[in-house]
Structure 1
Amino acid sequence: MSIVHVLGASRFEICHSRRWQRAAQAMFSAALMLVLAGCSSAVTKLDTWEGSPTSAVNAATLKTPGTIHVSQVNGRSMTNYLMDDLALDYALLPGENQVVFTYKTIWAKTGVVRNGESKVHVIESEPQVVRFDAAPNETYRLEFDKPGSRQQAEEMIPAFSAAVVGESGQTLAQSSSWSPDDSAPVARTPVSDESGAQPVDGGTLSGNGGSSLNQLKEVWKTATDEEKKAFLRWAFE
């Protein structure tokens, strides 16, 4: 066999392998989109308790923007997701609640970016804590002054604070700096879960089991088009 035939066969194998890889990626993307398209449009809500307490049927809701990352509720760790900037809702038991969070925002760099250097500026606050009494079936929001530029974001970080705002617009509580040493968790008595639902790493997704696929389905519902595109780019890298 001549070297020409060998080179020709090698090019064919490489080309065939690349076509197969592209086809596999396309099939995976299509399958993922079909699965996600079958999800309902319900908003993702994370339960913040263990077990099945009777007061959960009258749970309040805390709505958080994508720049707020909740790490604990009443001493219980919350789930971390693959994508930042996801606006999530947290179901809270009526009564006293303690929420620990950070503010994190990302700004694109305008100058030349060297190889290996991050293309964005990440601005993040120190951990904050807010405590308030949640009324049954009420909805609350975490609000703060939104910066219009990276410079404004950097200037607001040292004194950053967010407010818990009720449905009528009244401010119920203001956050302050948090340290594990100066904050005791709110006592919540675990109740046996008769439904058999499994907690999801410190946050059970309402109405779903604890599988990774169910987590992905629920998170996808709240993602913007740009976030979905960014995730798909990451999946195929």
Structure 2
Amino acid sequence: MSICHVNRVFESMMKGWHKHGVSLRAGLAALIALSLVGCASSISVVETWDGNPEGAERAATLKTPGEIRVVRVNDRNMTNFLMDDLALDYALLPGDNEVVFVYKTIWAKTGVVSNGESKVHVIESEPQVARFEALAGETYRFEFDRPTTRQEAERMMPEFSAAIVSSSGRSVASSSVWDPAEGIAASRTPIPEPQPGGASANAGNALEQLKDVWETASDEEKKAFLRWAFE
């Protein structure tokens, strides 16, 4: 949807609102909804890498339902879309992949709702992680038990786990509760044994390595490091 088309729709709607006395707030809400539909329809596959890495043209696809919100892939934070219940496809580079996600269900409240109180119950899992080797051109999907009631969803959450399944129906991974500290330890660059040349040379090498680690660290890893450094 082009900006020119949006402007034409907006002008036409504005004339109608003025003529019939419809509130500006309602009109803006309609325009935003219209824009969101256009934007959502243009989202096909979300790339999980920066730049143009090798293997991108042979990427695998991970299909996610609306209940699953992918928040991180291979230390790269995924975009938080305005509507977080969108069913999206994620392009994965061939090879080892780490996918961090949250499972969420929404249930309407049946009783009387006080003014200002939410009209729904939101049942959400702890962040989950699934690690698997993606094959070039393959399509994967999430598979998990779907509760039929809110009470059942609440009982499931402490032990929730989802499987990653290939197009042939073979399970390639099962998720578990994500521990951010594991990612920090795995991605940290090892510091080599001291080399001859004096304390100043060793300090310089350590400083350069710390700089390299900092540049490649995620926001969560940087925060964890700063908390540790100032404890």
TM-score scaled by structure 1?
A: 0.64
Name the amino acid aligned to 1:117: E
Partner Cα distance (1:182, 1:172) in 2: 21
Deviation larger for 174-183 or 19-28: 19-28
Task: State the partner residue of 1:47.
Answer: 47
Q: Which amino acid aligns with 1:135?
A: L
Task: Tell me whether 1:143 sits opposite 2:152 in the alignment.
Answer: no
Could you report, residue by residue, the CA deviation over 1:175-219 in whole angstroms, capped at 9, with x for unpaired residues? 0011111235987xxxxxxxxxxxxxxxxxxxxxxxxxxxxxxxx
| Contact 1:127–1:177 (Cα < 8 Å) also in 2 | yes
Instruction: Tell me the residue number matched to 2:61.
Output: 61
Structure 2 residue 160 is matched with structure 1 residue 122: no
Q: 1:81 to 1:36 in 2, by over 3 A?
A: closer
Q: What is the CA–CA distance in structure 2 between the aligned matches of 1:165 and 1:27, rounded to whole Å?
A: 42
Deviation of 1:34 after TM superposition, in Å, equals: 8.2
Q: 1:185 to 1:87 in 2, by over 3 A?
A: farther
* 1:181 maps onto 2:181 in alignment: yes
Instruction: Report the aligned-residue RMSD.
Output: 3.0
Letter of the structure 1 residue corresponding to residue 132 of structure 2: F
1:90 aligns with 2:90: yes
How far apart, in 2, do the equivalents of 1:33 and 1:136 lie? 36
Contact 1:125/1:160, CA 8 A, preserved across alignment:
yes
Q: For 1:182, what is the secondary structure of its paired residue?
A: helix
Alpha carbons of structure 1 residues 185 and 59: separation in structure 2 relative to 1, 3 Å:
farther
| Deviation at residue 127 of structure 1 after TM alignment | 0.6
Amino acid at match of 2:66: G
Q: Which has the higher contact order (CA 8 A, sep 6+)?
A: 1
2:146 partner SS: coil
Amino acid at match of 1:75: D
Shift of 1:33: 3.9
Structure with more of its chain in helix, by fraction: 2
Aligned residues: 171
- 2:63 maps to 1:79: no
Q: Aligned partners of 1:140 and 1:98: how far apart in 2?
A: 13
Stretch of structure 1 that moved more, 27-36 or 153-162: 27-36
Unpaired stretches in structure 2, ≥5 consecutive residues: 1-16, 188-231
Q: CA deviation at 1:27?
A: 8.2
- TM-superposed CA distance for 1:130, in Å, is 0.3
Q: Give the gaps of 5 or more residues in structure 1.
A: 1-15, 188-237
